[in-house]
């Protein structure tokens, strides 16, 4: 299963996917291209270093969300994409785009959804005074961080944590969880009924991902 990774910034989650692939831990998933809606971001450099097609389609250059998405699809077309990972991609996708990849678009979010959707989830968690936050990998729908949840991990808030320290601790957990979900998705182990996502057990090496 050939994935495009969509990015907007530094690309630490992209790097976790690239590292997993380089270590042989992402198959049968393959990263076929990386695309950014912002030019010059570090994520694109990470893609190039890993020898991946690094595509920029600036959303500002298009009159509508649909026009931007059409340009993005056109740029991705040569790479024969089956599925998409949003890794810090800061644009909401339309149903029209998402319908091109049914149950094949995943996002990672740095909170235990439905708590703290949207921007600055770690800062939201610190401001609320929670003692547990974490990360969520979910199927993408046209809302903001509202799609069916595939997997979640908890991360403690420790005494003296600020948003930066918490964000860093959450990212370490995301970097383990996201490649595991991408591998399971590519292996056809993920199905969805309504809001309920089921992950089928893998073979013994897959079980190391602790998704089931």
Residues with a known catalytic role: 109
Q: Which is nearer to a copy of itself, 25 or 146 (CB)?
A: 146
CB nearer to a copy of itself: pick between 47 and 151:
151
Q: Where would I find the beta strands (DSSP E) of the chain?
A: 2-7, 30-36, 54-56, 83-86, 105-109, 132-139, 149-156, 190-193, 196-199
Among positions 124-143, residues that touch a copy of itself (CB under 8 A) are 127-132, 134, 136
Near a copy of itself by CB under 8 A: residue from 101, 148, 171, 187: 148
Q: Beta 105-109 vs 132-139: how paired, if at all?
A: antiparallel
> For a copy of itself, which is the closer residue by CB, 60 or 203?
203
Q: Between residues 70 and 161, which has the closer beta carbon with respect to a copy of itself?
A: 161
Bridge-based pairing state of the strands 30-36 and 2-7: parallel
Query: Binding mask 81-110 vs a copy of itself (x if CB under 8 A, - otherwise)?
Result: ------------------------------
Q: Is 198 helix (H, G, I), strand (E, B) or coil?
A: strand
SS3 52: coil
- Does the protein bind a copy of itself through residue 202 (CB under 8 A)? no
State in angstroms the smallest separation of the CB of 176 from a copy of itself: 15
Q: Is 118 in the site for a copy of itself (CB under 8 A)?
A: no
Q: Which residue among 115, 123, 163, 187 contacts a copy of itself (CB under 8 A)?
A: 115
Distance from the Cα of residue 158 to its chain's centroid: 26
> Could you say whether residue 149 binds a copy of itself (CB under 8 A)?
yes
Binds a copy of itself (CB under 8 A): choice among 49, 92, 144, 154: 154
Q: Is the dihedral of CA 194, 137, 123, 126 positive or negative?
A: positive
Measure the CA–CA gap between 108 and 195, rounded to whole angstroms: 17
Residue 181 binds to a copy of itself (criterion: CB under 8 A): no
- Measured CA to CA, the distance from residue 14 to residue 91 in angstroms comes to 16
- Least distance between a copy of itself and beta carbon 89 (Å): 22
**Quick check: 113 binds a copy of itself (CB under 8 A)?**
yes
Structure tokens of 79?
Answer: 């790479």
Element (H, E) at 14: helix 12-22
List contacts with a copy of itself (CB under 8 A).
112-116, 127-132, 134, 136, 148-154, 159, 194-199, 212
């Amino acid at each position: 299963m050939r994935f495009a990774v969509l990015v907007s910034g530094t690309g630490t989650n992209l790097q976790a996917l690239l590292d997993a692939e380089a270590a042989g831990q992402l198959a049968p998933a393959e990263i076929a291209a990386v695309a950014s809606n912002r030019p010059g971001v570090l994520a694109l450099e990470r893609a190039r270093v890993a020898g991946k097609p690094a595509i920029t389609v600036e959303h500002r250059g298009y009159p509508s969300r649909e026009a931007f998405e059409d340009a993005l699809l056109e740029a991705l077309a040569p790479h024969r994409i089956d599925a998409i990972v949003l890794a810090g991609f800061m644009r909401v996708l339309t149903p029209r785009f998402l319908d091109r990849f049914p149950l094949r678009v995943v996002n990672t979010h740095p909170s235990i959804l439905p708590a703290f959707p949207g921007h600055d989830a770690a800062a939201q968690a610190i401001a609320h005074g929670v003692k547990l936050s974490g990360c969520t990998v979910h199927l993408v729908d046209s809302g903001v961080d509202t799609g069916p949840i595939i997997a979640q991990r908890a991360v403690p808030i420790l005494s003296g944590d600020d948003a930066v320290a918490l964000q860093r601790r959450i990212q370490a957990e995301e970097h383990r969880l996201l490649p595991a979900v991408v591998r399971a998705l590519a292996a056809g182990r993920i199905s969805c009924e309504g809001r309920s996502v089921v992950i089928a057990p893998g073979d013994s090496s897959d079980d190391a991902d602790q998704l089931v």
